[in-house]
Chains A and B, each alone.
Chain A
Amino acid sequence: MWDLRNLGQSYVPALDEDSIRQLSTKAARALQRAGHRPGVELPVVMKATEKCCELQWVEYSPPTKKSIDDDTNVTEYAGMAMALAIVHTLYPESEWDFMRRTVRGEFADIVLVDRDGEEFFVEASAAQDQDPSRLAKKRAQLRKCAASFKAACVTEFGPPRAAYEEV
């Protein structure tokens, strides 16, 4: 089970609270907007294999006092949240933690780091609809990145599906 409720504590403790809240909330909104409820199964394709995980999150309901940022970058940040969850699930022992977000236009969206200082560049992409070419595009983008450890993660919310590939 992937639990977006504990995204920060469980997956990326180094990420600050406000950023965690944004990523979790926006992931919930993106999933619900596509008609899903907590407990939905998310198939993740990794090369030839497919792994299915149950997704849990705190249901989003519009707060009485919304943050000004609640409606912005929903799909993009949801994609990042999903990528963090997927990386953590694939590498439970490696303890990849959040290092930094990158400025738009970079090869990768986020950089993770492990205890030994090894860096992991992750390009996260998300969309409501299916686009079979998206992973290939992201892969091509990452190939230009000089880092040695890098991966592309593409999430589609309706129907839910994710594809992950190291480059």
Chain B
Amino acid sequence: MPEALRELYPKVTQAIMRAENAEARGDAVAKQAYAEVSRIEEEISTLLAATSAQGALARRGAVRAALFAGDAERAKQLAARFAAEPGGVDTLRQELWEILENAELPAARPASDGAMPANISALVETAACIFPIVVGADDRLRAAEPELAARADPAVVTTEYLDMRRAFGDFAVAVAARAGQGLAGERLVTQALALLQATPDGVDRCVALTLDRALYSTCRALEIDARVNGASAEDRATLEAYYARLPALFPRLAEFRAQREFDRVEASSAGAALRTPLLQMLSRVARTDAVIGQNLSVDLDTDILAFARAPQEPPSEEPPEQIRVRTQEHSILVQTAKSAVFKLASIAARNSPLRPGLLQELAALPGL
């Protein structure tokens, strides 16, 4: 070990313990102590490559300590510098990014007796802090929840959103780690990554409808993978819970979903007889391994769902304009479904025991 490191390691240990003790006492010098820790960690980082375990540790430590010192600007600068180091590793970059994103605010830590820290009011007032206020999983700020809940603060929404993004990130990593068993698994990985990409870094840049669709599609991919590979039911339940939570973050999404449900009026019994063979056919095709393997299954499932829910006959009490729109919509749905069947038929026929002649029967159905 280089001589300089021999001197710096005891120094950083002492500085960290000083900072921790000061912080536990609620002493204002804690910030200065953490600033010193950050400085020493930075010095250590200059002596070690980012690729070494100790080098990475020092870099993370420098960024974390700067945050604990309340110096978010320095933390960001350090993280940016470390991330840009030649030969740096992606894992470290990701960790540095997560440190910034998950930044704790030690000043807001509740006192050991459970009382609200004196500076919590200031924290709640200071919406200008660059990091989201973490509410929920972290007990440190639980005491602040009533105050946070009382105000319509974009920071809270941002927090909820970032919490969700982290959950999707964890989900994607978990899926990627255990998938790979067959095409359904690959499909799930692709969908999980698409979900992650559909979840931008902040609410402002989020396209809610894109996220909504990605989340919905991932739930469907999980459903298929569950059938083929026995994917985790817990993952699906978690994602579905997020799907249910999403409109709380994006009120306009709630309106969109409500409209979509309204549009999907149950089919009338008169049309059911015509629709059943097509739906059966679609369902069967969608579940063949070949279709799943072509990454087409989820799209086809979506078509089936839309078709099944589409109004067979417009309600008579609707104004003429709406009847026209619904008729057009129905026609489009039928055509889409029919087109999907024929597009997939050749793939499906090679790989699954479809009843001979089914396609011809289907094509001959009246009204299609």
Contacts and interface: CB of A to CB of B under 8 A. Distances in A.
A72 B20 contact: yes
Nearest to A18: B14
Contacts of B37: 103
Contacts of B212: none
A98 B17 CA distance: 14
A16 B10 CA distance: 7
B53 A106 contact: no
A102 B61 contact: yes
Contact of A105 (B12, B41, B91, B104): B104
A105 B64 contact: yes
Majority-rule SS of A interface residues: loop
Given A19-B17, A100-B9, A101-B16, A117 B1 contact: yes
Contacts, number: 66
A22 B20 CA distance: 12
A95 interface: no
B302 interface: no
Interface range, B side: 20 to 34
A14 B104 CA distance: 31
B10 A103 contact: no
Interface residues of A, number: 27
Among A16, A19, A73, A100, which residue has the most Cβ atoms of chain B within 10 A?
A100
Nearest to A149: B53
B77 interface: no
A117 B13 CA distance: 18
A16 B14 contact: yes
A105 B61 CA distance: 9
B60 interface: yes
B57 interface: yes
Interface string B1-17: 10000000110111011
B53 A147 contact: yes
A8 to B, nearest CB: 12
Nearest to B103: A105
Interface string B247-268: 0000000000000000000000
B16 A102 contact: yes
Contacts of A98: 13
Given A14-B10, A100-B12, A111-B57, A22 B25 contact: no
Interface of B: 1, 9-10, 12-14, 16-17, 20-21, 24-25, 37, 41, 53-54, 56-57, 60-61, 64-65, 68, 91, 99, 104
Interface of A: 14-16, 18-19, 22, 68-69, 72-73, 98-106, 111, 113, 117, 119, 121, 145-147
10 contacts: A19-B14, A68-B21, A72-B20, A73-B21, A101-B12, A103-B16, A103-B61, A103-B64, A106-B60, A106-B61
